[in-house]
Structure 1
Amino acid sequence: MYLWILLYFAMINLIGYIIMWRDKRAAQSIHWRISEKLIFQIALAGGAAGIYVGMRYFRHKTQKLRFKIGIPFLVVLNAGCLVGAILYLQR
């Protein structure tokens, strides 16, 4: 059962990474942007690690205090939820 949880976290983090790539490209070419609210919603849903990696790799939103503090906090929160869920299911 916990394999599904790991698969979910892998997919949501891939989505988070792709969203950061897409928003960076949109910012460079002045196209439709992805809202910060949506980025944080995906991070809260478990995709914070993918968003964090995307932030660093694409150098996108790294100067915004909300992202500098919020995304690493959500990475820790997501990791705690993942570990908690797996431990709960293994008992």
Structure 2
Amino acid sequence: MKLNIFCYLLLALAALGSAFLPHPLVMWFLLVNALTFLIYGGDKLAARKGWRRVPESTLLVFGLLGGWTGAVVGQQLFRHKTQKQPFKTWFVITVILNLIVLLISAYVFYFR
């Protein structure tokens, strides 16, 4: 099984699992961040060992879907993908998009 497909299968399981737990949105963010953190760690290990790597596009998608905090922690802890361009630029864009959605959601649901 390709590593990329395995990552997306885990993401789908996180989405399905969070749907059946109390506070699904909170659980989604907890699961996707934990999963993103683990994938960054696994990709760093794969880079060191010369194994098959997780595509950068997959790492960016995980961050875009809410796992950006787990990605930031993984990048700093594992010293992974912190200098590589254009990945770094695209990652910052996904973080900004997440923050915009978060601010709009907070305004719509809590301040209106």
TM-score using structure 2 length:
0.67
In the alignment, what sits opposite 2:17? none
- Count of aligned positions: 89
Q: Does 1:13 align with 2:33?
A: yes
Give the C-alpha shift of residue 68 in structure 1: 2.2
**Bigger RCO (CA 8 Å, 6+ sep):** 1
Deviation at 1:61, TM superposition (A): 1.4
Structure with higher Rg: it is 2
Aligned to 1:40: 60
- TM-score, normalisation: structure 1: 0.80
What is aligned with 1:24? Answer: 44
Q: Which runs of 5+ in 2 are unaligned?
A: 1-22
| Cα shift at 1:19 | 0.7
Q: Does 1:49 align with 2:69?
A: yes
| Stretch of structure 1 that moved more, 67-76 or 26-35 | 67-76
Residue 73 of structure 1: how far off its partner (Å): 2.5
State the Cα distance separating 1:86 from its structure 2 match: 4.1
Hey, which bits of structure 1, 4+ residues long, moved more than 6 A?
Answer: none
Which runs of no fewer than 5 residues in structure 1 stay unpaired?
none
Compute the RMSD of aligned alpha carbons. 1.8
